[in-house]
Chain A
Amino acid sequence: MRLILILLVAMFGLARAAEPELLEPDKAFRFAARLTDTRSIEVSYQIAPGYYMYRDKFHFTLGPPDVKPGEPRFPAGKKYRDEFFGEVETYRGSLSIVLPFELGDTSVPAIQLAALSQGCADIGVCYVPHEQKAELRLAALSAGAMRSDAAPGVFSGTGLETDDARIVRVFEGGFWLAIASFFGFGLLLSFTPCVLPMVPILSGVIVGTGQPVTKARGFLLAAVYVLGMAMTYAVAGIAAGLSGAMLSMALQNPWVLGAFAAVFVVLALAMFGFYELQLPVALQSRLADASNRFHGGHTAGMFVMGVLSALILGPCVAAPLAGALLYIGQSRDVVLGGSALFAMALGMGVPLLAVGASAGALMPKAGPWMETVKRFFGTMLLGVAIYLVSPFIPVSVQMVLWAALLIVTAIYLRAIDPLPAGAHGFQRFSKGLGIIALIAGLAYLVGALSGGRDILQPLSGLRVTASGTAPSAAPFQRINSSSELDDRIQAAAGQTVMLDFYADWCVSCKEMERYTFSDERVQARFSEMTLLQADVTANSAENAALLRRFRLFGPPGIVFFDREGREIQGLRVIGFQPADRFVAVLDQALTFRR
C-alpha cells in the first residue's frame, strides 16, 4: 500500500516537473475580429500575462479578392532596443488594431480575415508564426451585429433580437453573470400576473394554520416554500440540460397548458371567495399529526406547497422560460441549467419572503380592501388562464372569453349599479373602471359575433372595406425531410426561400402565424419568395435530422436561403417577432446577394 502511494506521488511529481506550463497559442493570444463599419475591421488580441506580441510581425489578408486591405493602424507599443533588429515594439495585455479595407464590389456578403502574428512568452520561448481566422458578415452589419469565429453559432447573428435570443445572450457573459441575471429576471417575473397572485395564497396558508405565527416562523415557512419552488425549477433546469429542448416542448403541449389553465381558474374562484383554498382535510390532519410527533411537519407541508406551486406556475412563465430552456438544452450544461433556474426561482420568491417575514402583516387580514385585492388577483388569474390556452382556440372563442371576463368584472365593479348620492371617490373611480371594462367586454362580444379576427382590434370585422377580403393563409409548401428541402430549394431557383419550422405545440409559431404572417406588408414580401414549412410536430427521425442540419433543437425557427440556395447566415428568426421587425428581416433576405 505504501509502495503504491509513493509510486503515485512520484508519478505526479514527474508530471509536474516535465515542462513549464505553456499556453496554446490560441489561448496565449486570444483573437477576435469585428466590423466597426462598412470600411474597417477591428482586430483585437487579449494577450495572456507573461506573453507579448511583435508589432511588425502582424500580417493581415482579406478575402475574397474584391476586398482590398488598407494600412492597419496600430496603437503605440512598448519600445526596446534589440541587439539584432534595432528598435522593436511589443504589445502586452489587450491590443486593438484597426484594419481599413475597400470593397470593390458592394454585394460581397462576407469578408474572410486571416491574421498572421508572432509572439513570445517571458519564460523564454517564442511561437512560430500563428494564423487565426475570422469571417465577418456584411449582411449582418445593417442589422447591427457582427460575428467572429469565437461566437457560438446558433443564436448569434441577427441584431433584431427576440425575447428568446435576448435570454440566450445573457449566457454568453459567463456563469455568475448568468446567475445574477436570472435572479433579477425572477424578481421581475414575480410581479407578473403569474406569480403575484401567489402572495395572498401563501399568506393565507401561513396565517391560516390556526396557531399564532411569529415573524421568524413566517419567514421560515416562506423560505421553505420558496426553497421547494426553487428546487423544482433547478430540477427543470437540470432536466433541460440533460434532455435538450424536450422540456419546453412538453410545457407547450395543449393538454398541459389546458390543465394548467384549469388550475388557474380553480385558484381564481378561490380568490372570489367561492370556497376556502386549503389543503384537503385528510392531508391537513395527517400533517397535523406529523407535526405533533416531530417538529417541522408543517414545514414539510410548506415545502410540498412550494414544489406544487412551481409546477403550477411553470407553464405560465413558460414563454420567457422557453428561451432559457432552449439554450440550456442546447448547451447541455447541467450545472449552469440547474443553478440558473434555481437563482430565478429565488428571485421570484423575494416578495413571498417579504410577506412571510411580516407574518401576514403586509396583507390586511380582513375588511373589504382585502376582498378587493383578492378579487383583483382572481381576475388576473382568469386572464392568465385565457392567455395560456389562447394559442389553441379560435380567435372568436378567445374574444368571447375575454368578453365574459371583462363584463363579469364590470358587474363586480358595479358598473351598472347607480352611484349613491354621497358616493365616495373610490366608488366613483371603481365605477369608471367598471364601465371601461364593460365597454371593452361588449366590444369583444360584438367582435366575436361579427367575425372579428384580430384580438387587438375586435371590431375590425365590422369595417366595410374589410369584408370579404379575409387574408388568405400564407401558401406554405410542406416539407418533411432534408432531401425534400433540397429538391424544393432547387425548384425555387432564382427565388429567395424561407423555411419555417413549425409544430402544433409551438406557441410562438401560432402567434407568428396569427399576428405576423397575416400582416399585409409581410404578405406582400411573401409573394416574392418561396415559402417552405417543416412541420416537426411528429418529431420523427427525419424531422430530427432536419433540425440537426440547422443546429436547431426545435421550433420556432425561420431560416432563409438566397437565390443560389445557400443559407443566409446570421439572419435566422428564433421565436416570435412582430410584423414591423419581421418585415425588416424579410427585406434583408430579399435584397441579399452574395
Chain B
Amino acid sequence: MRARTIVLFAVVAGLSAAAGISYYLWSRGGGGAAMAPDSVVERVLSVRVADVKGESQSLEQWRGLVLVVNYWATWCAPCREEIPGFVRLQERYGSRGLQFVGIAIDQPDKVAEFASEFRINYPLLLGGLETIELLRQAGNRAGVLPYTLVIDRKGNLVSREQGGLKEARLERIIQPLL
C-alpha cells in the first residue's frame, strides 16, 4: 500500500515536472519554430543583408569577436533609447574585441540620417522580410523590436534580449566574454 502511494506520487510529480519544463521552454523559446541556439548564430552570421549604401554584407566578417547584434528601427522609440548606450559601450570596449552591429527594419535614408545625428560608431545594415522571418525563428515569436543577440568569441549564443536594454545590464553580460 505504501509502495503504491509512493509510485503514484512519483508519477504525478514526474508528469508535473515534465509539464513545467515544457511550459518553461515554450514560454522562453516559443513554439516549434524556434531553432537551437547554435543554428540561430549560424543563420544570423551567414545571412546577407544590405548596408546603407546598398552593398551586400554578411556578419561572417565579425566572427571571432564578441558580437552584439541589435535589431531596431528609427520609428521605434524604445529602440532609439538604448542606442546612445550602445555607442558608449562600443567606444569603451571596441579595442578589446567587442563589436556592435545594428540591423534596421527601416528605410535607408532614415537610417543614414539617424546614424549621423546620433554619431553611431558601429556598422548599420538594413534588414528585410528575410530578417523578420529569422527574428521569429530565433525565438522572437511576436516579431518585436528592439531585439538583441549577444554572441561570444566561439560563436555561442550567450543572451537574447527582447525590449530595451540598459547599458549597465548589457555591460555585465559582455564583460566576462571579453
Interface positions of A (Cβ within 8 A of B): 1, 4, 7-8, 11-12, 14-15, 18-20, 22-25, 28, 54, 57, 82-85, 118, 120-121, 123-130
Q: Is the CB of B163 within 8 A of A82?
A: no
Among all A-B residue pairs, the 6 with the closest Cβ atoms: A11-B20, A126-B76, A125-B144, A124-B78, A4-B13, A15-B24
Q: Is the CB of A127 within 8 A of B142?
A: yes
Main secondary structure of the interface of B (DSSP, over half): helix
Contact of A18 among B24, B114, B132 (CB under 8 A): B24
Contact with A along B134-173 (1 / 0, CB 8 A): 0100000111111000000000000000111000000000
In the assembly, what is the distance between CA of A24 and CA of B21, in Å? Answer: 22
In the assembly, what is the distance between CA of A123 and CA of B75, in Å? Answer: 16
Q: Is the CB of B143 within 8 A of A128?
A: yes
In the assembly, what is the distance between CA of A125 and CA of B142, in Å? Answer: 10
Separation in Å of the A132 CB from the closest CB of chain B? 13
In the assembly, what is the distance between CA of A7 and CA of B14, in Å? Answer: 11
Chain A hits for B117, CB < 8 A: 84
Q: Is the CB of B13 within 8 A of A126?
A: no
Chain A hits for B142, CB < 8 A: 22-25, 28, 127
Q: Is the CB of A120 within 8 A of B21?
A: no
Main secondary structure of the interface of A (DSSP, over half): mixed
A-B contact pairs, 17 of them (CB 8 A): A7-B17, A8-B13, A8-B20, A11-B23, A18-B27, A19-B162, A24-B142, A25-B143, A83-B80, A84-B80, A124-B78, A126-B78, A126-B79, A126-B144, A127-B143, A128-B143, A128-B145
Q: Is the CB of A11 within 8 A of B21?
A: yes
Q: Is the CB of A12 within 8 A of B20?
A: yes
A1-B9, A82-B77, A84-B114 known; A128+B24 contact, CB < 8 A: no
Separation in Å of the B74 CB from the closest CB of chain A? 6
Q: Is the CB of A19 within 8 A of B105?
A: no
Chain B hits for A54, CB < 8 A: 75
CB of B73 within 8 Å of the partner chain: yes
In the assembly, what is the distance between CA of A305 and CA of B162, in Å? Answer: 63
In the assembly, what is the distance between CA of A128 and CA of B9, in Å? Answer: 46
Q: Is the CB of A128 within 8 A of B132?
A: yes
Q: Is the CB of B16 within 8 A of A126?
A: no
Contact of B145 among A18, A24, A125 (CB under 8 A): A125
Q: Is the CB of B145 within 8 A of A20?
A: no
Separation in Å of the B26 CB from the closest CB of chain A? 9
* Residue of A1, A12, A126 with most partner-chain B CB within 10 A: A126
Q: Is the CB of B114 within 8 A of A128?
A: no
In the assembly, what is the distance between CA of A11 and CA of B77, in Å? Answer: 34
A25-B143, A124-B164 known; A11+B74 contact, CB < 8 A: no
Q: Is the CB of A120 within 8 A of B23?
A: no
CB of B28 within 8 Å of the partner chain: yes
Separation in Å of the A84 CB from the closest CB of chain B? 6
Contact of B105 among A12, A123, A128 (CB under 8 A): A128
Known A23-B142, A126-B145; further 10 A-B contacts with Cβ < 8 A: A1-B9, A4-B16, A8-B20, A11-B23, A12-B23, A18-B27, A83-B80, A124-B78, A124-B164, A129-B105
